[in-house]
Amino acid sequence: MSFYLFLTLLLLSSGCYYLGRRRAFTVAGDHVRNLHSLPSYYGAYTALWCGLPALLVFAAWTALQPSIILELVTNALPPELRTLPPGRLDLVLNDIKNLVNGNIVSSAPDPAILAAADHYRNLQLIGNAALWIAVMSLAIAGAAHAWRAISPKLRARNRVEQVVNLFLVISSTIAIFTTVGIILSVLFESILFFGKVPISDFLLGLQWSPQTALRADQAGSSGAFGAVPLFAGTLLISGIAMLVAVPIGLMSALYLSEYATPKFRATAKPALEVLAGIPTVVYGFFAALTVAPLLRDIGTALGLQVASESALAAGLVMGIMIIPFVSSLSDDVINAVPQSMRDGSYALGATKSETIKRVLLPAALPGIVGSILLAVSRAIGETMIVVMAAGLSANLTANPLQAVTTVTVQIVTLLTGDQEFDSAKTLAAFALGMVLFVVTLILNIIALHVVRKYREQYE
Amino acid sequence: MNKPIAPAAPARDIKAIVNAGLAHRHAAERRFRLYGLVAISLGLAFVVLMFASIISKGYPAFWQTYIELPVAFDAAVIDPEGKRDPKVLENADYAALVRASLRSLFPQVEGRRDLRALYALASSSAPLQLRAAVLDNPTLIGSTQPVWVLASATVDTFVKGNIDRSLDETLRPIKDQDIAWVDKLRADDRLERRFNSILFNHGDSREPEQAGIRGALMGSFYTLLVTFLLSFPIGVATAVYLEEFAPKNRWTDLIEVNINNLAAVPSIVFGLLGLAVFINFFGLPRSAPLVGGLVLSLMTLPVIIIAGRAALTSVPPSIREAALGMGASKLQMVGHHVLPLAMPGMLTGSIIGMARALGESAPLLMIGMVAFIVDIPKGMFDPATVLPVQIYLWADLPERAFVERTSAAIMVLLAFMILMNGLAIILRKRFERRW
């Protein structure tokens, strides 16, 4: 329905382009050079006048129509339905909407609801017809206005360029809106959450069991929202990952930039970067179905108790995933160290490894620390590997052979499945999300700052 | 007299000291070099190991076992009144035909439990297949035809050799009598392995032998379509604005810092944004590719913008000056000259961004694209799931046949990623220009 209107509008607008262009040739008389702009700009001018105002009205109308109709239908309901508590009223309205859409309704519909559904349908028909008329007349009026305005003196190019410029500026602000959206969405829900659970309990509590009672009279846990076990679990898994990724990544970067022949470098570097392109769900599958059973078997052979969802398995695989981040970032940093420093060291008789250890690494240290920080923030925010390979129970332990859970795992488990938006359980996920966002943001800012400072030092 | 200080003596000493330490130092050098080589080999070994493990688990899923059953299309069962009424044909008890045919192959089997085990050899989709055949061609009724039906997942797994028959009966999912039946069928040439087209033509299912990735593939397609339609124009416009038009002031600095930070925000946070803003605030439908595409386009935007800006800076200023010198307006200069020259680089960046979006699953879990959806989505508003999420869902299921299919789905996903990245590399090689 609205798709056809959109298509019609598009066709009309492109038709207007040719009309406007023809019109420009006509008003120009014998010489096209009499025109201020190229003829195609007159066409674009007409098309924009035809399409843009109509499109804006169209978008606003589609966004507002459902809520206005709902309001009207609610007001027309008989008083005994209208005065229902909000939750029940929502159910009634849902029934009406389902009736309108021809879906199955929960119970045998009441005549009042049937009448309301008819009313709804009528309003919808009227609304849609009015939308067509409004949009079409606006499009034609716009085109007519542009048609009349076209004259050799009209600065069509400047007008069209103004619109394009506006589009560019608006596009560039979307990044800002995204950040604002992220901050607002996690902040609002977190404030609601901290209204129910004190912030000190959340940040310092040692107990995490987010199961709250579903009904007020239900016996059972009231829920404990101490996030320390999650933070500890996240740190444990990220720590294991960094123990794998930093030595391997750093040594590979050193070898590739200092020892390897260009040919070897040209094949090994992209091959290593394949690891960065593999989707994380694949790593998760690998961790859960290959690495974890392997570790458990090895543990049993050595007489150790290894949980089947051990932190070690998740951390190891996450470390593999992060290797290319560490290696390519430190590769950049190492290459930024001036050759003269290496040459000076060689001239004093140092071997290659001595140069690396005593000159290159100290000089590149800030940059390497920055790249490790970026890798840590990546590890903390990684979700799929831990969701698939780490556990769900919040253990406060430093033993890598046991199962621990992480912030991201809890966000996913709290938010998948049925949810009520006012329960502490759901809101807790947003509070965890806020912690995650803030921590990774701080890490990124520090890391970017360190790396930039360091680059400037040698430029 | 004092001893004359021989000037050569300390020199010889230094040489001696250096020489004495040389072996040790060279050994350290060789060790260090070895560490580097070991690190690289470990990294590469992980790549090989992962691919080998997935391919070895997944390739059997591309074949599927079928059983040939002599099916008697008994008119008394299908159409007792003989009117060939499509309604009657549709609702007939085709499962009885499958059961009868299995009984005819193994007449010696008796007892409820054994019979039930026998009936379980064929997939539960076999009756549907017979129904489709009869509805297609009602003249089948009354005849006996050999029909190839899908074997159950357990039989399939056993035939592929993934169940060790030397194990104790209680430890394996297939019993001794089942093995005897399968061996008999194989001896009679009634078993066949065919290419598994179901994997590519069907939606999800609880029965592994009927589960396919078509639904997830279509969901991924619609999601990526939305992502591309939104993020490419907006990303290019932002890059053009920031590189070519933006004045250097605090506002543009803020935008730049923002974009760099967004590129490093964990993907799951974008999922929270999608849930709170698109679903709860704007009331868009849950599980829809539209919402998935919106979330992923916000994630992909920074990638496209950063790549686009790099491509724009690589266009030399002389081109801009020449265009302006010929009297072009600034927008004409960008639109006619700079943008076409930067386009290959921008496309390369976008394809890489899209490949990343294709593999992304964490934010989609938040907005409900994890539901069990059998139907193949037909548009952007239908509930759907995407390929990586399908992999996540299947990875949770314990059956060996699903492990196989998960690996196969991963192979398909990786194939798409390789395709997209390969395209990006070709584009770069083909159109790369050094000024």
For position B425, which CATH number holds?
1.10.3720.10
* Residues in chain A within 8 Å Cβ distance of B260: 448
Residue B29 lies in a domain: no
Please state the domain count of chain A.
Answer: 2
Q: Is the pLDDT reported for residue B210 higher than 90?
A: no
* Residues in chain A within 8 Å Cβ distance of B57: 289
Are residues B242 and B146 located together in one domain of the fold?
A: no
Residue A191 lies in a domain: no
Rounded to whole angstroms, the Cα distance separating A376 from A242 reads 7
Are residues B252 and B153 located together in one domain of the fold?
A: no
DSSP secondary structure string for all residues of B328-375: --HHHHIIIIIHHHHHHHHHHHHHHHHHHHHH--HHHHHTTTTS---S
* Residues in chain B within 8 Å Cβ distance of A378: 264, 266
* Residues in chain A within 8 Å Cβ distance of B235: 171
CATH number at residue A431: 1.10.3720.10
User: Closest-CA residue in chain B for A354?
Assistant: B29
Give the residue among B345, B47, B348, B364 at the shortest CA–CA distance from A276.
B47
Rounded to whole angstroms, the Cα distance separating A133 from A127 reads 10
The one-letter amino acid at A235: L
B276 with A186: Cβ contact below 8 A? yes
B391 with A255: Cβ contact below 8 A? no
Are residues A259 and A399 located together in one domain of the fold?
A: yes
Residue A260 lies in a domain: yes
Instruction: Specify the range with the lowest mean pLDDT, choosing from A159-163, A258-262, B80-84, B231-235.
Output: B80-84
Contact A201, A186 (CB under 8 A): no
Residue B139 lies in a domain: yes
Are residues A142 and A235 located together in one domain of the fold?
A: no
- Cβ neighbours around A144 below 10 Å, total: 14
User: Closest-CA residue in chain B for A170?
Assistant: B238
Residue A331, Cα to own-chain centre: how many angstroms?
Answer: 28
Walking along chain A (459 residues) 10 residues at a time, the average pLDDT comes out as 84 92 86 85 92 91 84 80 75 76 64 80 88 92 91 89 93 90 90 88 84 54 79 94 95 92 90 89 92 91 86 93 91 88 93 92 88 91 91 82 90 77 80 93 87 72
User: Closest-CA residue in chain B for A173?
Assistant: B255
**Nearest-by-Cβ selection for A254 from B36, B47, B298:** B36
Are residues A303 and A435 located together in one domain of the fold?
A: yes
Please state the domain count of chain B.
Answer: 2
Give the residue among B375, B332, B408 at the shortest CA–CA distance from B61.
B408
Q: Per-residue pLDDT tens for B16-43?
A: 888 888 999 999 999 999 999 999 999 9
- 8-state DSSP, B162: -
* Residues in chain B within 8 Å Cβ distance of A320: 46, 50
**Residue range(s) defining the domain that contains residue A331:** 224-458
DSSP H or E segment with residue B65: strand B63-72
Q: Is the pLDDT reported for residue B433 higher than 80?
A: no
Are residues A275 and A399 located together in one domain of the fold?
A: yes
Residue B49 lies in a domain: no
User: Closest-CA residue in chain A for B30?
Assistant: A353
Structure tokens at A265: 């470098």
Residue A160 lies in a domain: no
Q: What is the mean pLDDT of chain B?
A: 87
B395 with A285: Cβ contact below 8 A? yes
Are residues B233 and B275 located together in one domain of the fold?
A: yes
Rounded to whole angstroms, the Cα distance separating B348 from B307 reads 8
Are residues A327 and A452 located together in one domain of the fold?
A: yes
* Residues in chain B within 8 Å Cβ distance of A284: 392, 395
Alpha-carbon gap: A294 to the closest alpha carbon of chain B (Å): 13
Are residues B101 and B172 located together in one domain of the fold?
A: yes
Look at residues A153, A179, A198 and tell me which one is the last residue of a structural domain: A153
Q: Binning pLDDT at 50, 70 and 90, where does residue B48 land?
A: very high
Are residues A335 and A438 located together in one domain of the fold?
A: yes
* Predicted local distance difference test score (pLDDT) of residue A105: 60
Give the residue among B306, B312, B318 at the shortest CA–CA distance from B338.
B312
Residue B27 lies in a domain: no
Are residues A149 and A228 located together in one domain of the fold?
A: no
Look at residues A118, A153, A188 and tell me which one is the last residue of a structural domain: A153
Are residues A39 and A132 located together in one domain of the fold?
A: yes
Q: Is the pLDDT reported for residue B89 higher than 50?
A: yes
Are residues B168 and B289 located together in one domain of the fold?
A: no
Q: Per-residue pLDDT tens for B313-362?
A: 999 999 999 999 999 999 999 999 999 999 988 999 999 999 999 999 99
In the three-class reduction of DSSP (H, G, I as helix; E, B as strand; rest coil), residue B274 is classed as helix
Are residues B182 and B255 located together in one domain of the fold?
A: no
Give the residue among A369, A385, A373 at the shortest CA–CA distance from A237.
A385
* Predicted local distance difference test score (pLDDT) of residue A280: 93
Are residues A140 and A285 located together in one domain of the fold?
A: no
Residue B263 lies in a domain: yes
Q: Per-residue pLDDT tens for B141-184?
A: 888 888 888 888 888 888 887 777 777 777 777 888 888 888 88
Size of interface A-B (CB pairs under 8 A): 246
* Residues in chain B within 8 Å Cβ distance of A269: none
* Residues in chain B within 8 Å Cβ distance of A442: none
**Residue range(s) defining the domain that contains residue B345:** 214-431
User: Closest-CA residue in chain A for B28?
Assistant: A353
Rounded to whole angstroms, the Cα distance separating B94 from B100 reads 10
Helix H, strand E, coil C: the string for B190-257 is CEEEEECCHHHHCCCCCCHHHCCCHHHHHHHHHHHHHHHHHHHHHHHHHHHHHHHHCCCCHHHHHHHH
* Predicted local distance difference test score (pLDDT) of residue B1: 46
User: Closest-CA residue in chain A for B386?
Assistant: A281
Residue A106 lies in a domain: yes
Residue A281 lies in a domain: yes
Residue A164 lies in a domain: no
Are residues B154 and B233 located together in one domain of the fold?
A: no
Are residues B309 and B166 located together in one domain of the fold?
A: no
Are residues B380 and B265 located together in one domain of the fold?
A: yes
Are residues B232 and B272 located together in one domain of the fold?
A: yes
Are residues B173 and B275 located together in one domain of the fold?
A: no
B360 with A279: Cβ contact below 8 A? yes
Q: Where are the alpha helices (DSSP H) in B73-167?
A: 75-78, 86-91, 94-105, 112-119, 126-136, 153-159
Residue B22 lies in a domain: no
**Nearest-by-Cβ selection for B301 from A175, A285, A433:** A175
Are residues B240 and B97 located together in one domain of the fold?
A: no
Mutation target vs B (from A1, A158, A259, A281; most B CBs, 10 A cutoff): A281
Q: Is the pLDDT reported for residue B6 higher than 70?
A: no
* Predicted local distance difference test score (pLDDT) of residue B71: 85
Q: Is the pLDDT reported for residue B8 higher than 80?
A: no
Instruction: Specify the range with the lowest mean pLDDT, choosing from A105-114, A343-352, B207-216, B402-411.
Output: A105-114
The span from the first CA to the last CA of chain A, in angstroms, equals 60
Residue B160 lies in a domain: yes
Residue B199 lies in a domain: no
A277 with B270: Cβ contact below 8 A? no
A383 with B233: Cβ contact below 8 A? no
Look at residues A120, A153, A186 and tell me which one is the last residue of a structural domain: A153
